[in-house]
Amino acid sequence: MNRPMLVAGLALLPLGWGVSRWGMTGHMTAHMIAVAVAAPLVAIGLQGGRFDPAMRSPRLAAPLPAALVEAVIVWGWHVPALRRLADHHPAWLVAEQASFLAAGLLLWSAVLAPRHRAAGVAALLVTSMHMTLLGALIGLAPRPLYAHHGAEALIDQQVSGVVMLLVGGVAYLLGGLAMLGRLLQTRSEVPA
């Protein structure tokens, strides 16, 4: 267990939850903190310990199924009707943020497991692509998708799309490239 990483990841969560009520950009910032910043730190903090999801549920915490779960949760919560629920009902906001954290933790735990390095690279790169795509769709939409955010809805939505595109796309891309580097290094150390 890596306590400093675990504490750092857990300490970031209230920050994200605190800004989640600041329109679509606040929501997206909270979302990105949960799945792309706090979740990998918590996963590193739990890695190899008794609370590591990859150790507790090895079948569920496999990279590609975990990436699929994460994609369904992320895209699902960006359906306008669900987004409206989370914005206007505290219980739904808690459910949304908890599911973002759980999905992120599951994915990052799965890709960090030593037995999944190659699949982990693929899962992170695929996640980077779908985060980038969703961020671009939200940011480039010609009209507000989340009209319940008020008069500045389109500008807020565009900024939130950029936040998702940059933070989500870059975090998962960098994670995938780091995992690829570790995989290639491990392979080069194996005697022929």
Question: Does the pLDDT of residue 151 top 70, yes or no?
Answer: no
Question: Does the pLDDT of residue 185 top 60, yes or no?
Answer: yes
Q: For the chain, what percent of residues have pLDDT higher than 70?
A: 94
Average pLDDT, the chain: 88
Average pLDDT in the 170-181 region? 88
Based on C-alpha coordinates, what's the Rg of the chain? 17
Average pLDDT in the 103-114 region? 92
Q: How many residues does the chain have?
A: 192
Domain locations in the chain? 3-189
Average pLDDT in the 170-176 region? 89
If DSSP states are collapsed to H, E and C, what string results for 83-122?
HHHHHHCHHHHHHHHHHHHHHHHHHHHHHHCHHHHHHHHH
Question: Does the pLDDT of residue 153 top 80, yes or no?
Answer: yes
pLDDT tens figures, 39-57: 999 999 999 888 998 888 8
